[in-house]
Amino acid sequence: MIVRNTNWPIGITYDEPLGAVYSFYAQQFEHVQVADEGEKLGGGRTVVYHVSSGSEGRAVTPAMPMRPS
């Protein structure tokens, strides 16, 4: 899952946890939390979250934040 903040001067602060849902043909399989409430993403930054099936609801660790190319 990739989250991009294309607004260079303004950062993002999540006001609630950020989640991802796996679904296939409208059938939901799994929901995982990828970012906590209060976590920040700086202006013009990108974060890649590696989410894998079978995580059993455990939070995932984001990969290294990177600047868009």
The tens digit of pLDDT for each residue in 39-50 reads 999 999 998 888
Q: Residue 22's domain spans which residues?
A: 1-69
**68: Cα within 13 Å, side-chain hemisphere:** 12
- Residues near 60 by beta carbon (within 8 Å), at least 6 away in sequence: 32, 33, 34, 49, 50, 51, 52
Distance CA 44, CA 12 (A): 10
In terms of pTM, does the model score above 0.85?
no
Element (H, E) at 54: none
Mark out the alpha helices in 11-63 (DSSP H runs): none
For residue range 30-40, list pLDDT tens digits in order: 888 888 999 99
Number of domains in the chain: 1
